[in-house]
Amino acid sequence: MRRVVITGSGVVSPVGIGKQSFWNAVVEGKSGISRITQIDVSGFESHIGGEVKDFVPPPNLSPKEVRRLPNFVQFALKASHEAIVESGLDSYTGDPYSIGVIIGSGIGCLQAIEHDYEVFLKRGPKKISPFLIPTLITNEAAGNVAIHYNFRGPNFCTVTACASGAHAIGEAYRTIKCGSAEAIVCGGTEASITYLGVGGFCALKALSTRNDDPTKASRPFDRDRDGFIIAEGAGILVLEELEHAKKRRAKILAEVVGYAATCDAYHITAPRPSGEAAAKAMSLALKESGHSLDCNIYINAHGTSTQLNDKMETNAIKLAFGDKATDVNISSTKSVMGHTLGAAGAIEFIVCRMALENSVIPPTINYDSPDPECDLNYTPNNAREMDLDLALSNSLGFGGHNATLLLKKFV
């Protein structure tokens, strides 16, 4: 079978732009959560979020594009630029149809919907922008990356709520493995800190209301967790067929060795409490990798800091790993940056890549009060050095979508 490796990665996040500054903050447990500044949140129950700070558009965007392109597309272009430059595909002269782009987004551009609906109400239908549809639809991130780099291979967008970025990477892995592309730029992007974004999740009672202490609000697996923190950002990777990467003399960063997707088939927002379907995704990905449970494994948990998710995911890990569950090193980096929704799976997969490379397990910060129903090793509050064999990333989305990705050091 064709082997699939990572040759580039890029990050835009609430704790750093660029993978090195991002990684440093994650390992140090430096929170990026603060009071939201993009909108007036005084009327909402939750006032806090993980905003991208000091964002500068990528150098290959014209001033007109900067004005017109929504943030979720600009975030994807910025992270893609970093990943593509690292991989060396920015100077690629081979067949453009052999390079694809698959970038997920859970929501797309709510700002455009909010703005143009207000225009419609005040000024009528003839004043709706001709750019409304191309601005709001989720596939525009993948389309714009392809346009900027002339990548003409498989191109689409995965939309599976908070599993969108993970499914994009998994489908890129499958596409390369089966021979339909040589390399794919893939990942997830999101920018939904808007009135409807914050208001909608507040209406679901899903967000933390620990407004007086933002940096302590995201506390996955902690007994006193009270909801997730809405955040924004993008994570992009270049996945490539091994021999193709070798021929280009690209630096190989890690190898993707497993992917599985399942569905809870249970509820539109709540996870199946037993964790059975999420456990099945982990088990299938591990089976594909061919590794036993005796090796040193790090799990970057979905770990949202909600009551339902964290208990369910703990159950799922126990089902998948059995007696080995207590030996597994787990952490939720959402404790540092909040929940970037459709970008989360991709950003967290980059955490896994960096954890393998640096032999460091990042911490779950704000873990102060153990929950009897969440009784595994979540790497509380401080990073831990460990030589790792495998890293596993879980992503779980509304609608019951589960995705597990697995990677190892390249040898």
The residue from 302, 352, 374, 401 that is catalytic is: 302
Beta bridge partners of 396: 402
Known catalytic residue at 244: no
C-beta atoms surrounding 156 within 10 Å = 16
344 φ/ψ sector (left φ>0, alpha ψ -120 to 50, else beta): alpha
CA distance 29 to 383: 8
CA distance 343 to 348: 9
Neighbouring residues of 283: CB distance < 8 A, sequence distance ≥ 6: 260, 320
Return the closest-CA partner of residue 309 out of 192, 162, 168: 162
Known catalytic residue at 186: no
Q: Tell me, rounded to whole angstroms, the distance of Cα 284 from its chain centroid.
A: 20
Q: Using DSSP, state whether 279 is helix, strand or coil.
A: helix
Structure tokens at 165: 């970025």
DSSP letters for 81-111: HHHHHHHTGGG--S-GGGEEEEEE-SS--HH
* Helix segments in 155-275, DSSP class H: 164-177, 195-203, 242-248
DSSP letters for 242-268: HHHHHHHTPPP-EEEEEEEEEE--S-S
| 16-17/4-13 β-pairing | antiparallel
Known catalytic residue at 302: yes
The residue from 162, 186, 352, 374 that is catalytic is: 162
In angstroms, the Cα distances linking 176 to 86, 111, 155 are 19, 34, 13
The residue from 47, 81, 244, 339 that is catalytic is: 339
Sequence length of the chain is: 411
Beta bridge partners of 234: 12, 189
Task: Tell me the residue type at 155.
Answer: N
> From the CA atom positions of the chain, what is the Rg in Å?
20
Q: φ and ψ at 207, to 5 degrees?
A: -95, 150
Catalytic residue annotation: 162, 302, 339
